Structure 1
Amino acid sequence: MLHNRKAEEGLHMIRKHSLMVFFIVFLTGCAGSENESETIYVAAASDLYHALTDIGDAFTEETGIIVEFTYGSTGLLTQQIQEGAPFDLFAAAHESYIDQLIEGNAVFEDSKAYYGIGRIAAVSSGGQEIVMDKDYLLSDEVKLITIANPEHAPYGKAAKETLESWGIWDDIQPKLVFGENIRQSYQYVESGNADAGIIALALMNETNLHFDLIEEHTHETILQALGIPVQTEKRELSEQFADFILSRTGQDILIEYGFDLP
């Protein structure tokens, strides 16, 4: 009898232990599902690569919500969102692209918000300090100059407008190489594959390259805006992150990387 009682107690303990393991596994699975649902997917212009990544890290630290970024040219990301790409938020390098998506019923009209004004800089691949003006760009010392493709990158469009205002756009054509986006153009200069470039100031925060800020009057203002795509299933989380970008914390980080406030 004693033996049977001990056997029953042992079986009871095994069942109890198994039940506890089941609940632990179940709760862990639920937590994993919950954490997975607390992730938002953000499409962002390449000029934001450093600044928005820092903002996303600060947001995650404060809220626990994970932000996954896809960086690219604003024009190409706009096309993807128009075609239904599953992004929860879009931070464009120019407001006109958000307006385009609103007109195409691909972004909620009431979600549009201005978050920064971008600046451009003329950059040299050499470490020496050089006056980065039109005479230098036209000199024999400079063989290749890179800008982002002005057809779908707002920073490339601003670079083209600057070169036109300097009166050298036509003369400089043989030297030009287009980057798919502004970060790729920066990488061309950083690697030495281009001698100079006109790049987003926001990408120059941690560089050893010499650069000169370009005066704003030489190009259209790069007024940057964000919006929430209509296909998102996480609008509340998207609004929370958008508000964070527009908060004092988010704006201070943007200022640190060279953005002006809108």
Structure 2
Amino acid sequence: MSLLSNGIKRFPALLTLLASLFTVACNPYNQKRPAPLLVAAASDLVKVSVPLGTAFERSLGANITFSFGPSGQLEQQIRHGAPYDVYLPAARTYGESLHRDGLVEGEVLVYALGRLVAWSKTLSLSSLDDLREERVGRIALANPQYAPYGLAAQQALQSAGLWQILQPKLIYAESVSHAFQMAETGNADVALTALALVRDSDRPFLVLNQKLYAPIEQAAVVLRSSPNPQAAKAFQEFLRGEEARNILAAYGFGHP
């Protein structure tokens, strides 16, 4: 007892330092925050990602960061080692390709169906046949080679017998969101784009008959290289749930 008492008298500065270190170690604000969940997402998800991300963060307390691009380009980034946790392509086939090559942990989840529309900032369209008219100059669509919405647009025009006729008018955008931007900025007269991107537009748009193109299957996969697999799987499950389904429906996505 006396030794402890003498020690306290002799080394007050040491005790103060130890107390400070204990306080710092126990303070939750000094603990390292977990890295955000990194999600590679197809460009049609640019707008709906905001409420989806907010709802996920609120319900599970995990931070999430989205990186957008054409599904095919994102797939190539993943194959070259991009540090994503989750991949959300606008076509199930891209997720299945990664799954076959052992880059995916678990299932390829189809959580929603995309819808294709024709949108114009200045023109009113009542049918795809209107695209033949002289008042329609340039028509923007995503590149079918690596953008599912571009492929769907090609299929729709082929089904309607317009693909060859409209060739002189077609201009290719990097992604479905880029196609919309081209029409929005006047660099194209019409965009064949995603319903989710124009849902809140004050301009009327033409929703294309889904029988004209193969289903746009929005998929979600957890990447095997993810450093945060638990949170990644939680996000995939969140997309399967009712709250996410309601958010997606509000942006025009269908339920598979």
Moved more, 81-90 or 93-102: 81-90
C-alpha distance in 2 between matches for 1:176 and 1:226: 31
Residue of structure 1 in register with 2:34 after alignment: 36
Code of the residue aligned with 1:246 in structure 2: it is: R
Q: Which has the higher helix share?
A: 1
Aligned residue-pair number: 249
Instruction: Please state if 1:246 is matched with 2:240.
Output: yes
Q: Write the mapping of 1:154-169 to structure 2, written as runs, cut at 5 A.
A: 154-169=148-163
How large is the Cα RMSD of the aligned pairs?
A: 2.1
Residue of structure 2 in register with 1:209 after alignment: 203
Residue of structure 2 in register with 1:60 after alignment: 57
2:84–2:226 CA contact under 8 A, matched in 1: yes
Instruction: Please state if 1:143 is matched with 2:143.
Output: no
2:71–2:89 CA contact under 8 A, matched in 1: yes
Code of the residue aligned with 1:173 in structure 2: it is: Q
TM-score using structure 2 length: 0.90
Q: Could you say what secondary structure the match of 2:225 adopts?
A: coil
21 and 77 in structure 1: CA distance in 2 versus 1, 3 angstrom threshold: same
Instruction: Please state if 1:125 is matched with 2:121.
Output: yes
C-alpha distance in 1 between matches for 2:115 and 2:222: 24
Deviation at 1:178, TM superposition (A): 1.1
Q: Could you say what secondary structure the match of 2:93 adopts?
A: helix
Residue of structure 1 in register with 2:3 after alignment: none
Q: Write the mapping of 1:1-262 to structure 2, written as runs, cut at 5 A.
A: 12=12, 18-27=17-26, 31-33=30-32, 35-37=33-35, 39-108=36-105, 110-126=106-122, 130-262=124-256
Gaps (5+ residues) in structure 1?
Answer: 1-7
- Deviation per CA, 1:190-211: give whole Å up to 9, x if none: 1121110111111112212320
Deviation at 1:104, TM superposition (A): 1.6
Deviation at 1:115, TM superposition (A): 0.4
- Deviation per CA, 1:205-238: give whole Å up to 9, x if none: 2212320110000011112211111111211111
- Deviation per CA, 1:37-87: give whole Å up to 9, x if none: 3x2111111111111231111111122200011111001111111222111
Percent sequence identity is 31
C-alpha distance in 2 between matches for 1:52 and 1:115: 14
Q: Could you say what secondary structure the match of 1:184 adopts?
A: helix
Code of the residue aligned with 1:36 in structure 2: it is: P
Residue of structure 1 in register with 2:4 after alignment: none
C-alpha distance in 2 between matches for 1:31 and 1:231: 28
TM-score using structure 1 length: 0.88
C-alpha distance in 2 between matches for 1:66 and 1:104: 29
Moved more, 252-261 or 206-215: 206-215
Deviation at 1:16, TM superposition (A): 5.4
Q: Could you say what secondary structure the match of 1:189 adopts?
A: helix
